[in-house]
Amino acid sequence: MARRRRNYAVPGAERGMQAFKAEVMKREGYAVDPNRPDDVKYEVAKELGVPLKPGFNGDLTTEEAGHIGGKIGGSMVREMIRLAQDRLSKE
């Protein structure tokens, strides 16, 4: 099965979001290759005890996949909220 490809509403936003993910996950203490920030999911999965591997992962439960994505996405959302609050407090 092919990897899902996100379509960003803003052209060129993908590169910025990948850089943002790498920055946030580094702050969370993960080793992130800035050229391959999506690979941090393997480190997160290992920490959570989820058997994620490159390629097909059809044997994972929705719950297991959600734990990985939630850890990464949750960290990114918390940072976006913090940045927004900082920006609003300066106005």
Examine the pLDDT at 1 and tell me if it is beyond 60: no
Residue 44 lies in a domain: yes
Residue 5 is predicted with a pLDDT of 65
pLDDT digits (tens, 9 = 90+) for 41-85: 999 999 999 999 999 999 999 999 999 999 999 999 999 999 999
Output the pTM of the full model: 0.78
pLDDT digits (tens, 9 = 90+) for 6-50: 688 888 888 898 899 999 999 999 999 988 888 999 999 999 999
Name the pLDDT band for 91 (thresholds 50, 70, 90): confident
Q: Give dist(CA 54, CA 73) in Å, integer.
A: 19
Q: How many structural domains comprise the chain?
A: 1
Residue 5 lies in a domain: no
* Nearest residue to 27 (alpha-carbon basis) of 35, 39, 19: 19
> 3-state DSSP: the chain helix, strand, coil percent, rounded to 5?
60, 0, 40
Domain hosting residue 48, numbered range: 13-89
Q: Give dist(CA 82, CA 91) in Å, integer.
A: 15
How many beta carbons lie within 10 A of that of residue 25, not counting itself? Answer: 22
